[in-house]
Structures are given as C-alpha cells and as structure tokens.
Amino acid sequence: MLAGGATGAIGGTGSGVAQVQNNSTTETETEVETTLAPESTTANRSTTKQPAETGRSTAKETTRSSTMDEATSTTAATETTVPTRTSTAVTQESNRTTAETSEPATESEERTTEETETTTTTVSPTTTPENETVQNESALPPGSAPNVQIEVYHSSAHPEQVRFWITGRLPQDTESFRISFYKPQSSGSESGVVYSEGFDVSSSGYARWNGTARIPTLIYAIDLADYRSAQQRAVDYAGTSDWILAPTPEMTIDWSTDALGYESTEPLQKSTSENVTVDALSQGVIGQRLTYLGEYEEYALTDNSQRLRLIVPQEANLGPTSREILHSVALASGQLHVGSRDSEVLMVAGPEPIRSGGYAFPKRDEFVVGDEGGILIDGPALNTLENVWLHEYIHTRQSFERGLYSDNLGPKTEWFTEASAEYYAALLTYKQQRTDNEEALEHLKPGRYRDAVLADRSTWSDSEISPEPYEKGSAVLYALD
C-alpha cells in the first residue's frame, strides 16, 4: 500500500479503485513462424505528457480463454499509384504449442491458443479508377437492396491523402441513392470528391445519384492539409510515399427503393449494413476514427472480454515489446473498475513525425501513441508513472455526455478528462508493481501549479498543452480518492 498523501494510500477504498493481487503469469500459446525482425528494447525512457483528443487488416489471430496473438505480419504489396482489388483467404492453422513465461504480467492465468493465418491476394485493375468508364450494366432486380463496395487506398502520387473508392450497384426500383461526407471545418478544404460518375456532387459534401448509371462510383479524398495549421507545432497525422496515418472520414450512405423503402448506414463508424463492404486495397487498418495504410505488424490480446489490437507500423520503433504493452493494458482493463469496458480497443504506435505522447477517441475506443523524436523508444515506457499507453487506454473508458454531439465536459469540469486519465495511469502502474511508493507520491503532488483554479481556465498556462489538469488535477483526484 502506498503511504503518504491526503489519504495515506493511493487507491485506498475510494472512487471504485480495486485492490488487485499480483501473481506471476504462465502462458501457453501457439506460434506460427514468421520472418519478423526481433523487437528492440531500450532501458532509459522519458515521457512528454500530451492530452487526449477527447480524441481491416489481414493478420494472424489467436484466440484463448485469455487470448494472446503473437506477431502478426502483413506482406508488402508492390508499390503502385493505382488501387488494387483484394481478396482474402484463410490458409492454415498451427497445432504447435510452446510453454512460455510472459513478462511482466502480474496475474496468473492459463492460456490456450489457436492461430489462424490470413493472407491477401491482390489483383491490379486494368485502369485507374479516375479513368475507368463505369458501364451501365444490368441493374439488380426489383426488391433488392443496393450493393456498395468501399475500397481504401494510398499512393505515392498523393502521399498525404487517403482515398475512398465507393461503388454502388443499384436495383431497378431505386428511387434515391446519396453519399454524405462531413468535411473538416477548415478554410480552403483540400478534402473532397476527386472523381465521380453517375453523381451530382455539391460543395457542401453531398453526392446524389442522378440516374445516369446503375453502377455509380466516386472517389473521396481525405487530405492531411486540412488537419493541421501553421501554428501547430506537432502533428496528429502524417503521410509519406510508403505509409499514412489519417482520420477516417465520417460518411453516411442512404438510399430508397420502391420495395424496401428508406435505409441509412454509417459504414465507417458505428452502424454497419450487410449491403456495404469496406476493405483496404493493399495493407491497412481501417478504424472508426483512424486509418493506417502501409506495412505493419499486428498483435492482439483478449482478456476481461475485451480485445486489444496493437498496430505497429514498420517505421515505428517500440521500446517496450508488444507483449509487454499488451499485458500491461490488459491488466489495467481488469484493474480499472470505472467506465464501461467495450468489446475492442484499437491502439496504434504512430511513427515519426506523429507528435509525442498520445491522443484518443473515447467513443470509438481508439488511440495513438506517437513517435516524434523517437519517443516510443525513449518516452512512453511502462515502468514509469507517466505511462502513456495506460493514460490513453483510460481515455477509452471515459464517457461524458454533455450534449447530443459532444463527448466533452463543460468548461468548469473539462480538467477532469485529463486529470482522471493521469491519476488512474499512475495508480495502475503502481498496482502493477512497476514503480515504488516514493515515486508515486512525488508524481501526485500539485507542484508548481498548486495555485491554479481548475474550474477557471483563465488561470491555466497559456500554452498549446495546459499542464494544470495533468499535475494539479491528478493530485486533487488522489486526495479525493
């Protein structure tokens, strides 16, 4: 138990903080041989605190009573500036098991694994989608629902763009078909429809079927220029000729037919439809708020009825191993007894120049830990109270409802978002025996910001990242807990 402070113990009996017994973990898992390079480890790490932005791949996957996926590799496709159609095939299951002691897990559990490898076959189209003439092929019979295919791609010709190639096959009794995009609120937006056939496209972000083609198609581009400003010193998204980390656009597709009436779906976000398929044309992970395209490895662990997916791009360099990160977050998933635990969390190691620290999208259960200046090696270590992996994970457990379209708190309580993530990250790092009593007490002091009024933002530092919620806010929650 951590002695000292306002209550004499960090995580005593207040605010739903659970006592956790720490035991060693033994793991039995199935492995499939890969040609992946060994993961690197570095001892000395320091962290720059950053706030959360309160804010599919073909991969080998392992399931178990508590499931652990070892390294998952996606094979590079030939670099091309045109998209390629994809098909997936499950190829094999491995029955070879090995006994292994996982470090630094602290809860005992028996793990049995079964591993399935998925590979991707790509077929290049004969023409680029921009030049492709969509034939007015036979329509689907009346009474059918439209079939919509969304294929996502990135090319060296547009290194800072992710493009969404949308094709719809419509039934004969289609009355209306529309695609709506919620464009970023920036002047001179570079994002938008870059090609269309069979649609009338408005400047406000709507594409309406005009009846001239039964297989209308369009390409919508997300341009990273819309997601940064000249005053912004660090970036949340970045792209090169080889890879891109970008926001997933908010998109609605709706249609009406004489037989079936009206239907609407958000295929990239919360709702899905059996009539819409979404795929990356080469290698990629398409989340509800994050899209990564490029070479990567995927690791996954299922525990506490929650699946944790860790995406490690080829250009990102981890300090802690993927196994260590997953075990720490999985332990936190069980140790944290506040906030709902959703079925899946997507974690992305952002390559340089993605800003150091991290940012999260709590309602979508996705977050990024950035690599600016090699921070993944030298910064967000697990054995520090400034544990960015746990901090961002805790954001995914937060749910604040202030209005229909807001997941933020009001002006007098907005400090709580970062303060609670910082406090619980420190608490759970301590509970996982990754730091000692003295370090934890020192970390949870209000320090130089003790005179700041958390409910009055005008008393905070005038900086891009205000430190008051992190330092004084977490100290206040420690005192209350």
* Ranges of each domain in the chain: 26-76+92-115+295-480, 147-287
| Helix, strand, coil abundance in the chain, percent, nearest 5 | 15, 30, 55
Band of residue 76 on the pLDDT scale cut at 50, 70, 90:
very low
12 and 18 in contact (C-beta within 8 Å)?
no
Q: Which of the four CATH numbers 3.40.50, 2.60.40, 1.10.3470, 2.160.20 does domain 147-287 have?
A: 2.60.40
Closest C-alpha to 283, from 37, 5, 59: 59
Strand partners, 93: 116
Among the ranges given (5-14, 267-276, 309-318, 335-344), the one the predictor scored with the smallest mean pLDDT: 5-14
Which residues are CB-neighbours of 347 under 8 A, at least 6 positions away?
308, 309, 310, 311, 325, 329, 366, 367, 368, 369, 389, 392, 393
Buried b (16+ CB within 10 A) or exposed e, 353-383: ebbbbbbbbbbbbbbbbbbbeebbbbbbbbb
Strand partners, 279: 151
Strand partners, 140: 171
Band of residue 227 on the pLDDT scale cut at 50, 70, 90:
confident
Task: For the beta carbon of residue 459, count every other beta carbon within 10 angstroms.
Answer: 12
Return the CA Rg of the chain. Answer: 24
pLDDT digits (tens, 9 = 90+) for 300-325: 999 999 999 999 999 988 878 899 99
Record: fold of 26-76+92-115+295-480: Neutral Protease; domain 2 (1.10.390)
Buried b (16+ CB within 10 A) or exposed e, 71-91: bbbbeebeebebbbebeeeee
Strand partners, 347: 310, 367
68 and 113 in contact (C-beta within 8 Å)?
yes
For the entire predicted model, the pTM comes to 0.73
Band of residue 195 on the pLDDT scale cut at 50, 70, 90:
very high
